[in-house]
Structure 1
């Protein structure tokens, strides 16, 4: 690996990421200590996660995602939107793309400053008391609450994520509340082990939970407001199956440099 790492910083609704063009395979994918140090907000660049953009046969590129704890993670929706913007800025793609991530192939397209990312289809869900359990590329616990603005998301999310049920594999914990023009969502993310400003797979899971709770059917668009901005989740729902799932929101370049 080179002594200096060339990186770009992107954010999607406040969910921020370090992006590295690793088409030359110079970044050591097994160096968890390095990834964790780069994501450290006091001693590194600072981010919710790090992504490598790599060559992949039959695709425009491959997305390798790491959580802020340094470990390779499951799918990150906002990260997926940011790496699409990164690939566009590198000149790898124009206005649409097909790329590979840990949960399979993804299609995406860009419109203005928004990235529309196709997520995986979902055909089943679980329940834990009143909460919904959904796998949208990452595992999510979704609970409907009131007075979400005042909720201690770190304390309550940490407690659920580290409970006997979820401690081994971990789970992302989402709290959602109805508001005038859609829904307000706050998320405690595993791997970050803290509340984040946004979570794309979490917003997707929350929107599906809304459709299940409200017994909605057909073509659906759910506006989800997060701490960092506005996301829109669309899908076709038939029974308990969700297809043609898209996560739409901003993905913006912040800065670049060498570390």
Structure 2
């Protein structure tokens, strides 16, 4: 394993290695977006090259699609695939009930659609992403550009009646401009500090006119894989019940670490 990797990247890679073990020949796989998904795509491409693994990927963002093509993974669209065997993606936060906050990479809309069109969703993350309660990471909400300021005011009014500790809402910027998602929408980041009822908040946010989707993933994750810098991973599979700890094989050629994620 490359000594140039940071501890956080080693943890992410350990989770990615374990997750790719779930991929079987002939599967249709949703490919997530973000720094941890980056390592998953790298590892999946290795299996394609070294083992002749046949997979078809459905990317959740233009960045993921570009990386997967560069790595030699065959791609298709979700409409062409119809239904997926599994999706592997990262998370910005995950609680004890496997509820997630996603959208730090501004791909939450595609990520949620792809994940819910899969038999199983595997979430990979470094162990620091596990929290007692969601909310420390700002909750992304994707909104259409038309009337976005009105939508923001409606979101702010809604939060007054929610079980949260903060109510600051900011439109996400990039390079001094409002960020545009792959669907040419904006992202509102909700700084809530603590979310007491993720399920309720997810439902009511999506009822606001102008809101396309929110970054709360409730009852979507089936398997959580948390990586440690020493190569250990903790796997929590809802079908299996109790969590288990195993060691991932991190003995890889140095060239896999030549690029970094987001």
Same fold (TM over 0.5): no
TM range (shorter): under 0.3
Q: Which structure dedicates a bigger proportion of its chain to helix?
A: 2
User: Which structure: greater strand fraction?
Assistant: 1
Q: TM-score, normalised by structure 2?
A: 0.26
Higher relative contact order (CA 8 A, sep 6+): 2
